[in-house]
Structure 1
């Protein structure tokens, strides 16, 4: 039996859910929320903190600071509490109340910015605030998940190999795109693997990560209001953009079968199942990565008044619940499922 002394020492990396009975297409969902931080962000947080410690950047007087829409903030709060660091999370109004309360329960400070950036999001405003803090006091240490190579290295070392070990005949992998740390780590791992794997990035409509038109995004997690510095599109075969309404419907379809997942997971699943349906792909081995679970979304995605206020009374109409309407991004013609041209 596992016995641990630090919360970040435990992370279940080999749990997969077969979604075919729910969505009608073969799709295995890699569940990353079964750790004390509740999301895949524990991997990146641990890698970045340990790297900063090895490099001598972090000292007992340091104050960790990071911009986060929620999950990374929780992971860093947990690690900071375990290791004795102070931590300040800079977030915005889209961060779920339960997530903010959880960070504070772990002893962290939370600062919520209100102003929008040039692309109609909050990321630029959050980053400006972090930079001003670091300029004002050299005790602040910004790990910068957006530029830190430890973000993708964590998934090159762990997430990619975990999928490969369980699915040696993998054809296509669906990965949500936020900072693109998970995407880049997995894509780099499978680029060197023994067989070609098609890497499909799943983004949110309204995100500009892959050059899309900026728009309103109310569900935190995936999507960016700037191009992710870690992104190298040469490792990505295809991009799909998902409407938030389809994210919500995917979450509720899984919840009605007893699986409560978060918004990032709903986005990835919606994009993946739509892709499989458009390609009529019944004979491929497909895996999607579920970054989080659903408890932190009870007052948003799973709250009727919140849904109806933002998306209208028909958001959960049964007529729409069995279909998805994800949008392929504007990219060159792509080869058939299960095949990727070598570079």
Structure 2
């Protein structure tokens, strides 16, 4: 029996889902959404807050502020509530309504940016707003998940070793690329301790992280409009870019067998499916990180009108065709 007094003290770190029945290749999903924050971002949030407290940056009376597409904002709102800090989450119009309401329910403020920066898009505009808040009041403390080394160190210390412990014969690891904290922490760990493991980064089409052109992205989580400062491509063996339509199809297919995952997870699984179809072998051990669950996406990727308006009816038609084929 586990008894806790703070929500950040609980996290399930050893649950994996075999999705071979869905994608046709053996793939184990490390489920990181089974905590009170609902995503892998709890690890980075906890590490950054603890480090800021230890070095004196974060003190009683401080106002936490952070730019987030959603999941880190929830994690910080939860930690702020538990520790007695005020928190302002700066997000944009792509953030799910359920996520914004959850942050507010935890007692934090949400500032929604609607006008993109002319050169760096909505993320650039969010960062500009954060800087303005910090300049307006010295009590604001910006943890800066985009360049804070504690973000990737959290995964170097936990996520990487957790995977290696459960799968000592792992051959390939698929990790989604957002701020790249999870990616860099896991990649650095495996390159240092298990260098034979192939690290495959999964990014969204329209993200500029790996030098590809910017384009419209409507699903929050993975991808970036600005190259992540933490990203070091020397630790990454390969990059796969996934169309958002394929993210939706994959999420819908997983839901048809009872697993409701979030958009970031759908992107990672879609990228892994494509890679394994080309390079996988029957004896290969493949693991992917599933960053989040799907309840916060019920009004978007699991809402037929939202999907059809943005991506057309063919996306759902293709999913239904795939589902029928799998059932047959």
Taking structure 1 as the reference length, what is the TM-score of the superposition? 0.92
Equivalents in 2 of 1:48, 1:258: separation in Å? 34
Report the RMSD for the aligned CA atoms in angstroms: 1.3
Aligned equivalent of 1:41:
41
**What does 1:73-112 correspond to in 2, within 5 Å?**
73-112=73-112
Equivalents in 2 of 1:199, 1:321: separation in Å? 32
**What does 1:68-217 correspond to in 2, within 5 Å?**
68-119=68-119, 121-194=121-194, 196-217=196-217
- Tell me the secondary structure at the aligned position of residue 227 of structure 2: coil
Q: Structure 1 residues 156 and 63, CA, compared in 2 at 3 Å: closer, same or farther?
A: same
Residue 155 of structure 1 and its aligned partner are, at CA, apart by 0.2
- Tell me the secondary structure at the aligned position of residue 259 of structure 1: coil
Aligned equivalent of 1:339:
none
Question: Conserved in 1, the CA contact under 8 Å of 2:249 and 2:318?
Answer: no
1:178-198 Cα offsets, whole Å, 9 max, x none, are: 000000000010011245100
Equivalents in 2 of 1:319, 1:15: separation in Å? 27
Residue 318 of structure 1 and its aligned partner are, at CA, apart by 3.8
Aligned equivalent of 1:253:
253
Question: Conserved in 1, the CA contact under 8 Å of 2:174 and 2:272?
Answer: yes
Question: Conserved in 2, the CA contact under 8 Å of 1:32 and 1:291?
Answer: yes
Aligned equivalent of 1:23:
23
* Segment of structure 1 superposing worse, 311-320 or 202-211: 311-320
Residue 320 of structure 1 and its aligned partner are, at CA, apart by 7.7
Larger proportion of helix: 2
Question: Conserved in 2, the CA contact under 8 Å of 1:88 and 1:109?
Answer: yes
Q: Structure 1 residues 195 and 146, CA, compared in 2 at 3 Å: closer, same or farther?
A: closer
- Tell me the secondary structure at the aligned position of residue 89 of structure 1: strand
- Tell me the secondary structure at the aligned position of residue 122 of structure 1: helix
* Structure 2 stretches lacking a partner, 5+ long: 324-328
- Tell me the secondary structure at the aligned position of residue 207 of structure 2: coil
Equivalents in 1 of 2:222, 2:319: separation in Å? 26
Aligned equivalent of 1:2:
2
1:236-268 Cα offsets, whole Å, 9 max, x none, are: 000000000000000000000000000000000
**What does 1:192-341 correspond to in 2, within 5 Å?**
192-194=192-194, 196-318=196-318, 322=322
Equivalents in 1 of 2:317, 2:282: separation in Å? 27
Q: Count residues in correspondence.
A: 323
* Structure 1 stretches lacking a partner, 5+ long: 324-343
